[in-house]
């Protein structure tokens, strides 16, 4: 496994365990139902980038001539999407967690709001290209056959995740529910100790596993989300659009993490500021900070 594969595999542990239990139950109840479900899963993977599936996944329809020309003009700053590498443009009304998604390097799905911002001049071509290059950076992941196969296998867990997201929004507004979730470790501890003392080993293993997954699921998912962000940032830097993305994210937030990410985007080799460019903004800022220090600290 290289680059992103390890972080991705770790983030799938809970989904694989839960979905496996569901499929075992389905197999025990009806083997034909399991075969049919497997056949449907294979068909979904094979046809994932066809027009019906793009509509099903993103509510996507082909862009009209004006929308297509507007976006293809905007992405001219991305060298890898010029000429014969230009992607087909789709307008998606169900893009979750962003404004652009690229199921493959030849398909670009954007939100109506994103098109409007580009067309109305609210976003420059380089800013639009920076956002699109982020989506282009994770094409290797979303277009991977193993990833899509496992997504279909883990469909029972994905349905649970949707339910959890709905419940979480409700729970966030009720202090009692938030407190109940926070003290779950006390409940787990009592249950584990009780099962151990009474030698109920199946229950002991089960509760211990659930307690472990209760912590690792969120931790590993955040780690994977961070890796996806890094993949997008690396692609943006390689396309020479790091400073443009840095400006966008700094306008959207002023946290320390945002500042650090913006600094990496501006200064990383491969962008407009090379490792050997001693006169660039990053080095100038560092020189200015050093000059403001006392002599014993500035050397």
Separation CA 197–CA 179 (nearest Å) = 28
The C-alpha atoms of residue 255 and residue 149 are separated, in whole angstroms, by: 37
Is-above-0.95 flag for pTM? no
How far from chain centre, in Å, is Cα 288? 37
Q: Looking at residue 51, what is its pLDDT?
A: 94
Contacting residues for 216 by C-beta, under 8 A, at least 6 apart: 13, 14
* Distance from C-alpha of 27 to C-alpha of 122, rounded to nearest angstrom: 54
Please report the pLDDT score of residue 132 as a whole number: 95
Helix (H, G, I), strand (E, B), or coil: what is residue 107? strand
Separation in Å, CA 120 to CA 67, 108, 124, 125 = 12, 20, 10, 11
What count of Cα atoms within 13 Å lies in the side-chain half-sphere of residue 286? 8
Reference 45, options 150, 156, 148, 151; nearest CA is 148
DSSP at 86: P
Residue 172's pLDDT is 67
Per-residue model confidence as pLDDT tens for the chain (299 residues): 458 999 999 999 999 999 999 999 988 888 888 899 889 888 988 998 999 999 998 999 999 999 999 999 999 999 889 888 899 999 999 888 789 999 999 999 999 999 999 999 999 999 999 999 999 999 999 888 899 999 999 999 988 888 887 777 676 677 776 777 778 888 888 889 988 888 888 888 988 998 898 889 989 999 999 999 999 999 999 999 999 998 888 887 777 888 888 888 888 665 443 333 434 445 444 434 333 333 333 33
* Residue 87, pLDDT score: 94
HSE (CB half, 13 Å, CA atoms) of 52? 5
- Which residue's structure tokens are 């151990």? 196
Find out whether 56 and 40 touch, Cβ atoms under 8 Å: no
Which pLDDT score, from 0 to 100, does residue 222 have? 93
């Amino acid at each position: 496994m290289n680059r992103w594969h390890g972080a991705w595999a770790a983030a799938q542990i809970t989904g694989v365990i839960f979905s496996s239990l569901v499929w075992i139950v389905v197999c025990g109840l009806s083997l034909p139902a399991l075969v049919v479900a497997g056949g449907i899963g294979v068909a979904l993977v094979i046809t994932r980038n066809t027009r019906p599936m793009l509509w099903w996944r993103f509510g996507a329809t082909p862009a009209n001539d004006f929308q297509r020309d507007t976006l293809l003009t905007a992405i001219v700053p991305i060298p890898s999407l010029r000429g014969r590498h230009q992607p087909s443009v789709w307008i998606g009304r169900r893009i979750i967690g962003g404004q652009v998604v690229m199921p493959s390097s030849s398909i670009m799905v954007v939100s109506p709001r994103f098109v409007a911002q580009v067309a109305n001049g609210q976003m420059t071509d380089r800013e639009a290209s920076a956002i699109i290059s982020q989506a282009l950076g994770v094409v290797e992941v979303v277009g991977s056959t193993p990833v899509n196969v496992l997504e279909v296998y883990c469909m029972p867990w994905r349905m649970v995740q949707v339910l959890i997201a709905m419940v979480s929004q409700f729970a966030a507004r009720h202090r009692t529910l938030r407190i109940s979730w926070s003290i779950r470790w006390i409940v787990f501890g009592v249950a584990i100790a009780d099962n151990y003392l009474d030698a109920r080993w199946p229950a002991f293993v089960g509760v211990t596993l659930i307690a472990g997954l209760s912590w690792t699921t969120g931790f590993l998912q955040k780690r994977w989300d961070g890796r996806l962000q890094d993949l997008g940032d690396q692609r943006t830097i390689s396309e020479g659009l790091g400073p443009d993305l840095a400006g966008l994210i700094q306008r959207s937030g002023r946290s320390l993490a945002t500042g650090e990410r913006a600094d990496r985007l501006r200064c990383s080799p491969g962008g407009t500021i090379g490792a050997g460019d001693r006169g660039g903004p990053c080095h100038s800022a560092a020189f200015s900070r050093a000059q403001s220090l006392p002599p014993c600290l500035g050397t």
